[in-house]
Amino acid sequence: VPETNRRVLLKSRPPGEPRPSDFEIAEGPIPKPSDGEILCRTIWLSLDPYMRGRMKDVRSYAAPVEIGGVMVGGTVSEVIESKHPSLRPGDLVVGMDGWQQYASSAPTGLRPIDRSVAPISTALGVLGMPGLTAYVGLLDIGRPVAGETVVVSAASGAVGSVVGQIARLKGCRAVGIAGSPTKCGYVVNELGFDAAVDYRRDGFAEALRDACPNGIDVYFDNVAGPVLEAVLRQINRGARIPLCGLISQYNATEPPRGPNLAPLLTNRGLIRGFLVFDHFDRFGAFVNEVGAWVRNGELRYREDIVDGLDAAPQAFIGLLEGRNFGKLLVRVSEERPVAGG
Ligand SMILES: NC(=O)c1ccc[n+]([C@@H]2O[C@H](COP(=O)([O-])OP(=O)(O)OC[C@H]3O[C@@H](n4cnc5c(N)ncnc54)[C@H](OP(=O)(O)O)[C@@H]3O)[C@@H](O)[C@H]2O)c1
């Protein structure tokens, strides 16, 4: 029976790329489970991009790892001692025991593993958190329809590989974006994607266009940054973009060029483009409701009126500079008084 518990602690918060010196290996006693707790031996530890976020001391959807704290991480573990009625030694569980050999905790939120389904490591990958991410992100948010083109970045990885394969199984054209010819070859030849494009090569945007002759209907974004920008130029009308990850900026020391989409992801926000032309069927409802508010003064409006058509160019230039105040109108001619009024 081993006597020590090796753990990896966060030693410092890297400004950019994490260095080995930002971590510290420490040994300590194996924890003793209290009543209601179980002691587990870690078999598999998952390493995931989100951990980079936990090394930062910024407000996010989850608390940061403390300096000196054990790095967080999903684990597959074997119960070796149990003071909880629901688990016995020998049981396998998926938990969040972190980067350490042993952990003692109350078994809340633990998921038992059925060894008969697949190798137990899959509980941290294709049949675990990354697989679920792909499944809900693609099907519930991306809503692919057979015949559409689905593009996914980080396509050879844990999430992306599942996204493209589910897209294929749903009858879509699946196009992967990955960071090397070897990864692209794997995505097409082993995973069965229809095409893959290396975003590091010259002419990436053209190659993506060639791979998506009918445009892009769903873009499952794992990376943000320049890849997202290139994809956006090729999306079709009504395209859906599940925003899953922003790995291109996880190590960044400067704010991203252009808008930072991170708050959109962490707050589960929605951006959706629309054009009013598609919605004139709502005109009747709009005029009824808003017209009543205008009549009874609940909804106010302000007009900024310039006189004469000749004033139009200057007024228009001013509109783009913010010199108008309210709805800018040109009085081209006098309104005729209402007859009998
Ligand atoms: N929203 C959620 O709940 C949720 C859950 C799980 C994962 N995620 C996100 O999903 C994404 C993929 O996670 P994963 O676990 O499946 O990891 P993964 O894809 O297995 O590994 C990360 C991959 O990201 C790619 N990458 C790294 N830097 C990049 C850059 N600057 N530009 C473009 N690609 C880059 C690399 O592949 P290449 O060589 O192809 O560049 C790398 O192999 C991450 O952004 C992660 O944060 C989100």
Q: Which residues contact 41 (CB under 8 A, 6 or more apart)?
A: 77, 78, 80, 101, 102
- For the CA atoms of the chain, what is the radius of gyration? 28
- Testing ligand 1's pocket by substitution, the residue of 51, 200, 222 carrying the most ligand atoms inside 8 A of its CB is 222
133 lines ligand 1 (CB under 6 A): yes
- Nearest-atom index, ligand 1, CA of 247: 45
pTM of the model: 0.92
CA distance linking residue 170 with residue 192, whole number of Å: 13
Is the predicted pLDDT of residue 2 greater than 80, yes or no? no
| Dihedral over alpha carbons 202, 204, 209, 215 (to 10 degrees) | -170
Nearest CA to ligand 1 atom 2: 244
Contact 9, 69 (CB under 8 A): yes
DSSP state of 279: G
210-236 pLDDT, tens digit per residue, is 999 999 999 999 999 999 999 999 999
163 lines ligand 1 (CB under 6 A): no
Is the predicted pLDDT of residue 166 greater than 80, yes or no? yes
φ and ψ at 111, to 5 degrees? Answer: -115, 125
Q: For residue 303, is it left (φ>0), alpha (ψ between -120 and 50) or beta?
A: beta
23 lines ligand 1 (CB under 6 A): no
CA distance linking residue 262 with residue 246, whole number of Å: 7
98 lines ligand 1 (CB under 6 A): no
C-alpha separations of 282 from 84, 285, 286, 288 in Å: 59, 6, 6, 10
50-99 pLDDT, tens digit per residue, is 999 999 998 788 899 999 999 999 999 999 999 999 999 999 999 999 99
Section 179-196 average pLDDT = 98
248 lines ligand 1 (CB under 6 A): yes
Q: How far, in Å, from the CA of 132 to the mean position of ligand 1?
A: 15
Q: How far, in Å, from the CA of 247 to the mean position of ligand 1?
A: 5
Rounded to 10 deg, the angle between the 158-169 and 129-136 helix axes is: 40
Nearest CA to ligand 1 atom 46: 245
93-141 pLDDT, tens digit per residue, is 999 999 999 999 999 888 889 888 899 999 999 999 999 999 999 999 9
Contact 212, 193 (CB under 8 A): no
Is the predicted pLDDT of residue 291 greater than 80, yes or no? yes
What residues form DSSP beta bridges with 25? Answer: 8
Q: How far, in Å, from the CA of 72 to the mean position of ligand 1?
A: 18
